Amino acid sequence: MSANAQWSNGSSVTVRKKESETYKGSISYKIPFGRDNYIQPFKWIRKVPYLGDRLGEARWYYTPTSLDFSMDATETKSYNEPRVGQNITRPYDFGLNRSISGSYKMFDNLNLNYSRKMRNSLIDFRDDKLKAIKELNPGIPLNVAETYSASFSPKLTNWLTPSLSYSANYNWQDNPANSSKSIDQLSNQNRISSSFSLDPAEIMKSFYKPKGATAKRSTRSAGTSSRSRGRSTRVTQPIKTPEKEEKTDNKEIPLLEFLYQTLDRVQPIQVSYSISQSNNNRGRVGEPGLLYRTGLVSDPELDTISAEAGAYPDNITINSDASLRSGIKISKNINTSLSYNQNMSRSQANGMENRNIARDYLTFDNSGKKGIPFPGWTLNVSQLEKIAFLSKVFTKLSLDHGFSGKESIVYQKGELQSSTYKLYFQPLLGLSMQFKNNISSTVRMTMGKTISNRANGGASIVRDQNINASMNYQKKGGLTIPLPFLKNKRLENNINFTMSFDYSSSETRERNDQTSKFVRKNWNKTWKIEPRISYSFTQKVTGGIFYSYSESTTAMTGKRITRNGGFDVNIAIRG
């Protein structure tokens, strides 16, 4: 609980007198709940095979996790008198804000959440504030906002982890000062999301124990037997019998072993899908029911004022998203990842329907229309320095490669308006190198194209290419000053040499319609090289010198050369 009051007054060039008073009081309360308020309703089922272990440990919590209440009231009075004119204003506001929120963890994998925020106007009680308390009257409602959410994440098996969630938002807003008779804003949104992760190797392990696990278990058994023999002088014959039985139980099956080793290279397959809907309803009167507020229906089922709602009172937007991710570990130092994403949206507003499609895509021609939905990929090869002829030069060497393709299509009133296709290798080739002479370097080359098609048959193709390279060398050292009054002080200093090179080129070709040919409209090429030397004389004194040279050539301006150089000295002064 808190209360505060503020007063202020002032003036300016245009305002002769400005005064304001603000009074605010707030109260909040949180109900604590313990985490031991649960029972195990399925405890009796523990002896049932497979399901017993999982359901038997399930906990049902019979109290909420949290429950919070808060309320605050604010009164603001102002007086503004201008230096010119008689337009004196006395703004006044008296409002009440209330909120309630709670969460309920019904089971360990099921969570529910709810919150409601309300804002009311108490201007009618300006002269008699106690009347609002006596009558328990919160005033005129101005805004109501609610949120609902539920999530369910069961742990079914080691190889399957699904998740399901639902969320909804509701907003109601009305200002009595407006001349309209209907609600100013009435909307709701909902979203359903689902995902699961599937591990192929874990599926295999559920019915076949691979050789690796058998070896580890045998090693642990051998260690136990050795310790037992060290403590006893008895004959160890009884210990050998379980080992024989274990070998029999874990007999290697070549076909299954090969299948497991293959599946173990596949990363968990992650799949997700979500769908959401947003509704905006105009010209309504009243407050909708629970189904609309929780996002389960799109029609608030309220009376409509046709003159204010217009010909198209409802705006609806629907979005769906899907994604698929995985990867393959080809070897210990070669990894790949795959990712596919797709988004589809549809909206209805003012009698017009629009549809958009965006997805990962691989195109085979310059129109983009000949292609297939295809995931993007990345490839990483590390530890190349272990190759015999490369180990003489590098202490670390890795290679990167990536691809990304996109398709975006826009429909309006059922007709194709535009389509865009992108195909980029990012990077086409990337190298990270560490030489044996302490020189490190990176090289990265990217290239791709963007195809844009218009409804009238016109199109443009933009091709890009970039090369970025950098090199770094650092030398650490120091010197000792042999003077008695400096006590042989040692000065640490470092020198760092870097050089960067950047190259980029772009070309744009266009056509006006399907019958015409592509014509070169624009192009440019740019390259830049910049060496830099930085030197630290001491920990407090550093400096450097640099020089850069660049050339750029465009179809419009021709060739341009830029030279730049300089030096800097930095001295850190600490008290």
The C-alpha atoms of residue 54 and residue 109 are separated, in whole angstroms, by 12
Report in angstroms the alpha-carbon separations of 216 from 207, 208, 210, 212, 213: 18, 15, 10, 6, 5
On whether the CB atoms of residues 140 and 124 are closer than 8 A, the answer is yes
Mean pLDDT within 404-414: 93
pLDDT score at 226: 42
> Is 459 buried (19+), middle (13-18) or exposed (0-12) by CB count in 10 A?
buried
On whether the CB atoms of residues 335 and 327 are closer than 8 A, the answer is yes
Report in angstroms the alpha-carbon separations of 121 from 142, 143, 187, 208: 7, 10, 21, 69
pLDDT tens for 304-354 read: 888 888 888 889 999 999 999 999 999 889 999 999 999 999 998 888 889
pLDDT score at 490: 59
Report the run of H or E that residue 236 belongs to, with start and end: none
pLDDT tens for 51-75 read: 667 777 788 888 899 999 999 999 9
On whether the CB atoms of residues 348 and 361 are closer than 8 A, the answer is no
The C-alpha atoms of residue 339 and residue 267 are separated, in whole angstroms, by 12
Q: Which own/partner pairs from 4-7 qualify as long-range (CB within 8 Å, at least 24 positions apart)?
A: none
pLDDT tens for 436-454 read: 888 999 999 999 999 999 9
Q: Alpha-carbon torsion 131, 135, 140, 146, what sign?
A: positive
pLDDT score at 217: 38
The answer to whether residue 375 scores a pLDDT higher than 50 is yes
The C-alpha atoms of residue 493 and residue 508 are separated, in whole angstroms, by 50
The amino acid at 377: W
The C-alpha atoms of residue 554 and residue 560 are separated, in whole angstroms, by 9
The C-alpha atoms of residue 56 and residue 54 are separated, in whole angstroms, by 6
The C-alpha atoms of residue 328 and residue 336 are separated, in whole angstroms, by 5
**DSSP secondary structure, 12-29, as one string:** -SSEEEEEEEEEEEEEEE
Q: What is the CA radius of gyration of the chain?
A: 36
Specify the higher pLDDT residue, 29 or 46: 29
The residues near 435 (Cβ < 8 Å, ≥ 6 apart) are 393, 394, 395, 441
Cis peptide before 210 (omega within 30 of 0): no
Residue (of 143, 131, 137) closest to 97 by Cα position: 143
pLDDT score at 360: 96
Residue 406: beta bridge partners?
A: 360, 422
On whether the CB atoms of residues 78 and 88 are closer than 8 A, the answer is no
pLDDT score at 278: 95
pLDDT score at 230: 41
- At residue 180, the 3 state secondary structure works out as coil
Specify the higher pLDDT residue, 426 or 248: 426
pLDDT score at 214: 47
Q: How confident is the model at residue 399 (pLDDT cuts 50, 70, 90)?
A: very high
SS3 content of the chain, % helix, strand, coil (to 5): 15, 60, 25
pLDDT tens for 469-527 read: 999 998 876 655 555 555 555 556 788 899 999 999 999 999 988 888 899 999 999 99
Show the tokens assigned to 188: 């709701």
The C-alpha atoms of residue 313 and residue 280 are separated, in whole angstroms, by 8
Report the run of H or E that residue 487 belongs to, with start and end: none
Show the tokens assigned to 490: 């040692």
The C-alpha atoms of residue 523 and residue 558 are separated, in whole angstroms, by 10
Q: What is the mean pLDDT of the chain?
A: 86
The C-alpha atoms of residue 329 and residue 500 are separated, in whole angstroms, by 33
The answer to whether residue 223 scores a pLDDT higher than 60 is no
Q: Could you list the beta-strand ranges (E) of 241-393.
A: 269-281, 284-285, 303-304, 314-331, 334-349, 352-363, 371-373, 376-381
- At residue 246, the 3 state secondary structure works out as helix
pLDDT score at 487: 58
Residue (of 544, 546, 543) closest to 570 by Cα position: 543
Unique residue bearing structure tokens 């008073």: 21
The amino acid at 282: R
Report the run of H or E that residue 36 belongs to, with start and end: none
The C-alpha atoms of residue 183 and residue 87 are separated, in whole angstroms, by 32
The C-alpha atoms of residue 442 and residue 445 are separated, in whole angstroms, by 10
Report in angstroms the alpha-carbon separations of 308 from 349, 407, 422: 16, 40, 44
The C-alpha atoms of residue 184 and residue 173 are separated, in whole angstroms, by 6
Mean pLDDT within 351-369: 91
pLDDT score at 39: 85
DSSP β-ladder status, 160-173 and 352-363: unpaired
pLDDT tens for 95-147 read: 999 999 999 999 888 999 999 999 999 988 888 888 888 888 888 899 999 99
